[in-house]
């Protein structure tokens, strides 16, 4: 059985509190494609086309800064699209790779595990991804709180933040 | 005459009765921005003298009976519920030579009652005369005396050159209108005396010749022949006269056509310039549109590049390093385990091979071996082999050996899953990404540079566009030609040009015809003289000769004197022009007054040192030439009549040319005019210029006043409290 | 302009010298009261006098004719 496919079948979650933050920088779903939509996106100050783009961004930010933030039990969460639909695939794979590396999981041992055990590990990996993304979102949130104009006046904001 | 003061009561924006300006000799300046009340002050002077004010919207003068209560300050109207409101403007002139004072006060009244306004139809002018040695002023009632006083203040014929508004400068000397400059020369000189003498000389000559002819007929030997010749002469003379009239008309037409084609020529170059500018503007507009588009695309792409160019992975090399270590460990472990497994396999294999050295596999056949084990006896060597004994075990081994493989002998530790392909895929992807990450910073820098480049290009083009746009608008505004008119202009220009050429041909044809008729006339004259018997009286022949010469001299003298006046005017105009333009090095040229082909009028034009006409003058040049010519008319007049001194009052004469001419203009004005009152916004806007005015040694400065409205113009929807603050600056 | 100045402006005319009425040197120093028997100069003086004193042109014409008819 494929490891990657099984990981990608998962749909990660994020804390409810970041829903608005994501909306702030992402166009509404179904805004359409094409030049007009892109122009509109840019004019609205939306830096991301999709939520998963922003999610990947947050995860990478967390991974890079090695800042993960476990989501406390009982926190209201939002689910969204499964990783297999994320594009570009290279970036999604890179994120998975990062999470895998950070997990410290013995990959060789993983191969020896029973299916049920592997599933447990994959669930743990998903949780870890969520923690890093959560860390990333926390970094974005605090930056915005600290300097609300940061994301309004600086075209480079998200690149500079990396 | 010196204008000592003006006092305004409730006149337009000058509400209340505390509005007084005092003036001295030299240049007096009223400083204020647009809409501050400068033109209203000019209106006040004009109103007192002529009972009307200039309506800038209608571009015409309106009388008190047309304006009525609009003359009254809004504040005064608002503050009064019931009763009369008086409007008045009082001018005090001082004749310094005779030490006499003239006070001209114009009054107007409206009455307010229950919200309604009753307006007088007419205003009233009260002129008082006061000799300073006496204290009391006397009101002047005699209309004749009033006319004399008004003439002393400003004679009608020089009014256009003394009291004018900036926007009127163009029309005071309208170069394209017939004989304006000639009229100006008539005003300033006594050339009309020469004209009168010409009339006298013409008439004298004519009657002298008539007298001579009568005498010749009296002395004729053949009266019939003489009479016949007389008739012929008369007919030819009439013909000549008619042709001369025709010639004058043709020359008039020629001059007009020349003037017109000259003006069109100037317009042609303007139109060409507009067209070129317009083309440039369009090109830049298109470029600008493209660059804007490109810039926008680049900006949009810039954000997308976070994912398309993987900028989002910026400085995440560490992540790959971590994975790479983990993956390496995984591979190492796998490799180690594989190696171990292979080694075990080899060992088992060896063992099997060893066993093979004793007996080949399946020898004896398993069926026999099973029989031997059953009977517990080796049938090969025929010996006892009880169960559990060594020979029994050996036999059992041989039987099992045939079923054994080396793999089976090695202890099995096979993984339940193989993720190696996936893990390898992640590694390879990470490796590929890590190469990209190396270039991300440079890529971002390049993209930013590209954005900056496009943005600065966009800015440049925008600036260029704005510049061209305002140039096009300025030229269109100056010339009132739009691009579409250009072709019509070309047609009309060639039509006028042809007309002028035709006129030249026609007039030379006429000249030839007249000459022919004149020689016919001379023959008749000769025949008539031939018929005379006896002597003509000596005095008569002498008289006719003297009158002939007198007539010729009268004509040529008038022409000589007039040309001298034109020359003087020209040099005066140049003196003023050079002085006014001295601060601006780019202003070049000499004013020349060119005589038109009909000999009736002169056109000022700007020429270079070689005498080549400078074309494509801008508005500043044209206005300066006109102002210089106006000043020349005044200054040339002054040099011939010292006592003729009037006050120049002009509103915004400087607004049409650049600020660098303003000081030069003031210097020149303060030299040409004994007293002048100039309204200007330049000194309001430019403080440096104002300082210069107050400190310039070459300017004979009178009083400088600053006026400010109580409500800024932008907020003046309600003028009910509008007053004007008057402040002296020196 | 004085009468004398106006007179001189006429006498400056090249025809005056050409026809031998006056020499150039005479013109430059010519005064209104300068004695002369020159009929042209007298005619011009009559004309100027009449013009400056605002005389009716018919009267001036008559004066000149009377002068020349002698």
pLDDT of residue B643: 39
**Tens digits of pLDDT across chain A (162 residues):** 689 999 999 999 999 888 888 888 887 655 556 667 777 777 777 888 888 999 999 999 999 999 999 988 888 888 888 999 998 999 999 999 999 999 999 988 899 899 899 999 999 999 999 999 999 999 999 988 888 888 877 778 888 888
pLDDT of residue B361: 67
Q: Residue B644 pLDDT > 60, yes or no?
A: no
Computed from CA positions of residues C22, C28, C34, C39, in that sequence, does the dihedral angle turn out positive or negative? positive
Give the mean pLDDT of B114-123. Answer: 84
Helix axes B223-308, B420-479, angle to 10 degrees: 160
Chain A: nearest CA to B439, how far in angstroms? 14
Least confident of B66-75, B165-174, B416-425: B165-174
Q: Residue B48 pLDDT > 90, yes or no?
A: yes
At B522, which helix (H) or strand (E)?
helix B485-531
Q: Residue B307 pLDDT > 70, yes or no?
A: yes
> What percentage of chain B exceeds 70 in pLDDT?
88
pLDDT for B357-389, tens place per residue?
666 666 777 788 888 888 888 888 888 888 888
Whether the link from the prior residue into B140 is cis, omega within 30° of 0, is no
Nearest to B288 by CA among B76, B456, B450: B456
Whether A91 sits inside 8 A of B310 (CB atoms) is yes
Residues of A in contact with B319 (CB under 8 A): 60, 63-64, 94, 97-98, 101-102
Nearest to B319 among A39, A101, A114 (CB): A101
pLDDT of residue B104: 95
Farthest-apart Cα atoms in chain C, separation: 34
Q: Following DSSP, what letter does each residue of B150-202 receive, concatenated?
A: HHHH--GGGHHHHEEEGGGHHHHT-TTSTTHHHHHHHHHS-HHHHHHHHHHHH
Nearest to C30 by CA among C2, C4, C1: C4
Q: Following DSSP, what letter does each residue of B594-612 receive, concatenated?
A: EEPTTSS-EEEEEE-TT-P
> What percentage of chain B exceeds 90 in pLDDT?
32
Helix axes A89-103, B317-358, angle to 10 degrees: 70
Instruction: Report how far residue B495's alpha carbon sits from residue B506's, in angstroms, rounded to the nearest whole number.
Output: 16
Instruction: Report how far residue B202's alpha carbon sits from residue B420's, in angstroms, rounded to the nearest whole number.
Output: 129
pLDDT of residue A2: 84
Mean pLDDT of all residues in chain B? Answer: 84
- Indicate contact of A with B: 3+ CB pairs under 8 A: yes
**Tens digits of pLDDT across chain C (70 residues):** 788 889 999 999 999 988 888 888 888 888 888 877 889 999 999 999 999 888 888 899 999 999 998 7
Nearest to B659 by CA among B682, B639, B643, B678: B682
Instruction: Report how far residue A53's alpha carbon sits from residue B307's, in angstroms, rounded to the nearest whole number.
Output: 8
Which residues of C lie closer than 8 Å to B, measured between beta carbons?
1, 6, 9-10, 12-13, 15-16, 19, 21, 39-40, 43-44, 47-48, 50-52, 57, 60-61, 64-65, 68-70
Q: Residue B400 pLDDT > 80, yes or no?
A: no
Tell which wins on pLDDT, B703 or B351.
Answer: B703
Q: Which two tokens stand for residue B633?
A: 């008319």
């Amino acid at each position: 059985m494929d490891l990657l496919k099984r990981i990608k079948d998962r749909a990660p979650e994020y804390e409810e509190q970041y829903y608005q933050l994501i909306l702030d920088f992402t166009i509404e779903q179904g805004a359409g494609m094409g030049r007009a939509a892109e122009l509109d996106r840019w004019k609205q100050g939306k830096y991301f086309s999709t939520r998963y783009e922003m999610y990947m961004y947050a995860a990478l930010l967390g991974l890079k800064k090695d800042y993960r933030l476990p989501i406390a039990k009982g926190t209201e969460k939002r689910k969204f699209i499964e990783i297999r639909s994320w594009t570009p695939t290279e970036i999604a794979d890179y994120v998975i790779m990062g999470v895998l590396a950070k997990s410290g999981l013995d990959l060789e041992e993983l191969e020896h595990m029973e299916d049920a055990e592997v599933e447990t590990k994959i669930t743990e990996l998903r949780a870890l991804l969520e923690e890093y993304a959560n860390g990333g979102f926390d970094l974005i949130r605090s930056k915005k709180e600290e300097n609300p104009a940061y994301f309004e006046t600086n075209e480079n904001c998200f690149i500079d933040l990396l | 005459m010196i204008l000592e003061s003006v006092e305004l009561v409730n006149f337009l924006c000058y509400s209340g009765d505390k509005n007084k300006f005092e003036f001295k000799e030299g240049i007096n300046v009223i400083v204020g921005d647009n809409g501050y009340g400068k033109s209203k002050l000019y209106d006040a002077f004009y109103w007192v003298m002529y009972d009307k004010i200039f309506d800038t919207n209608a571009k015409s003068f309106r009388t008190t009976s047309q304006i009525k209560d609009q003359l009254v300050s809004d504040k005064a109207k608002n503050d009064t519920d019931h009763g009369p409101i008086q409007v008045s403007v009082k001018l005090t002139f001082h004749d310094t030579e005779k030490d006499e004072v003239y006070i001209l006060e114009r009054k107007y009244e409206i009455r307010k009652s229950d919200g309604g306004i009753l307006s007088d139809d007419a205003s009233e002018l009260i002129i008082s005369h006061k000799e300073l040695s006496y204290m009391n002023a006397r009101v002047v009632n005699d209309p004749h005396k009033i006319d004399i006083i008004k003439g002393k203040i400003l004679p009608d014929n020089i009014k256009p050159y003394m009291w004018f508004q900036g926007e009127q400068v163009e029309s005071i000397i309208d170069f394209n209108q017939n004989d304006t400059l000639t009229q100006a020369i008539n005003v300033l000189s006594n050339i009309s005396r020469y004209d009168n003498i010409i009339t006298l000389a013409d008439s004298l000559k004519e009657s002298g010749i008539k007298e001579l002819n009568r005498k010749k007929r009296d002395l004729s030997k053949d009266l019939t022949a003489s009479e016949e010749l007389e008739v012929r002469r008369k007919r030819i003379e009439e013909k000549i006269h008619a042709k001369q009239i025709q010639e004058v008309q043709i020359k008039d037409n020629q001059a007009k056509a020349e003037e017109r084609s000259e003006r069109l020529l100037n317009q042609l170059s303007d139109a060409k310039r507009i067209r070129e500018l317009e083309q440039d503007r369009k090109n830049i507009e298109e470029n600008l549109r493209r660059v804007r588009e490109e810039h926008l695309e680049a900006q949009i792409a810039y954000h997308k590049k976070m994912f398309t160019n993987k900028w989002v992975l910026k400085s995440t090399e560490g992540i790959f390093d971590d994975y790479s270590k983990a993956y390496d460990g995984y591979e190492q472990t796998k490799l180690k385990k594989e190696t171990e497994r292979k080694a075990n396999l080899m060992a088992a294999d060896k063992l099997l091979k060893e066993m093979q050295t004793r007996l080949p596999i399946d020898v004896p056949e398993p069926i026999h071996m099973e029989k031997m084990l059953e009977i517990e006896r080796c049938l090969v060597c025929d010996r006892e082999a009880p169960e559990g004994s060594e020979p029994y075990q050996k036999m059992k081994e041989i039987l099992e050996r045939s079923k054994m493989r080396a793999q089976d002998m090695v202890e099995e530790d096979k993984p339940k899953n193989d993720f190696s392909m996936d893990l390898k895929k992640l590694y390879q992807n990470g490796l590929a990404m890590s190469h990209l990450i190396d270039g991300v910073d440079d890529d971002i820098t390049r993209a930013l540079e590209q954005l900056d480049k496009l943005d600065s290009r966009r800015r440049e083009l925008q600036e260029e566009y704005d510049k061209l746009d305002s140039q096009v608008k300025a030229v269109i505004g100056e010339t009132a030609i739009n691009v579409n008119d250009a072709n019509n202009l070309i047609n009309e220009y060639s039509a006028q040009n042809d007309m002028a050429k035709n006129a030249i041909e026609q007039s030379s044809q006429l000249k030839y015809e007249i000459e022919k008729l004149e020689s016919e006339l001379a023959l008749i004259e000769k025949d008539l003289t031939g018929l005379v018997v006896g002597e003509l009286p000596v005095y008569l022949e002498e008289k006719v000769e003297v009158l002939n010469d007198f007539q010729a001299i009268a004509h040529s003298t008038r022409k000589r004197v007039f040309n001298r006046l034109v020359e003087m005017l020209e040099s005066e105009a140049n003196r003023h022009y050079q002085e006014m333009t001295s601060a601006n090095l780019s202003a070049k040229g000499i004013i020349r007054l060119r005589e038109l082909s009909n000999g009736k009028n002169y056109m000022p034009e700007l020429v270079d040192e070689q005498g080549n006409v400078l074309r494509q003058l801008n508005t500043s040049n044209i206005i300066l030439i006109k102002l210089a010519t106006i000043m020349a008319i005044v200054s040339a007049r002054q040099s011939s009549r010292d006592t003729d001194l009037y006050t120049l009052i002009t509103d915004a004469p400087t607004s049409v040319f650049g600020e660098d001419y303003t000081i030069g203009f003031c210097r020149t004005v303060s030299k040409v005019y004994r007293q002048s009152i100039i309204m200007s916004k330049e000194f309001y806007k430019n403080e440096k210029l104002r300082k210069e005015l107050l400190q310039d040694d070459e300017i004979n400065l009178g009083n400088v006043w600053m006026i400010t409205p109580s409500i800024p113009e932008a907020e003046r929807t309600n003028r009910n409290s509008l007053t004007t603050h008057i402040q002296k600056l020196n | 302009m004085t009468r004398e100045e106006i007179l001189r402006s006429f006498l400056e005319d090249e025809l005056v010298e050409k026809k031998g009425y006056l020499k150039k040197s005479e013109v430059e120093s010519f005064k209104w009261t300068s004695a002369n028997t020159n009929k042209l100069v007298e005619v011009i003086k009559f004309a100027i006098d009449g013009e400056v004193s605002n005389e009716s042109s018919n009267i001036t014409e008559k004066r000149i004719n009377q002068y020349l008819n002698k």
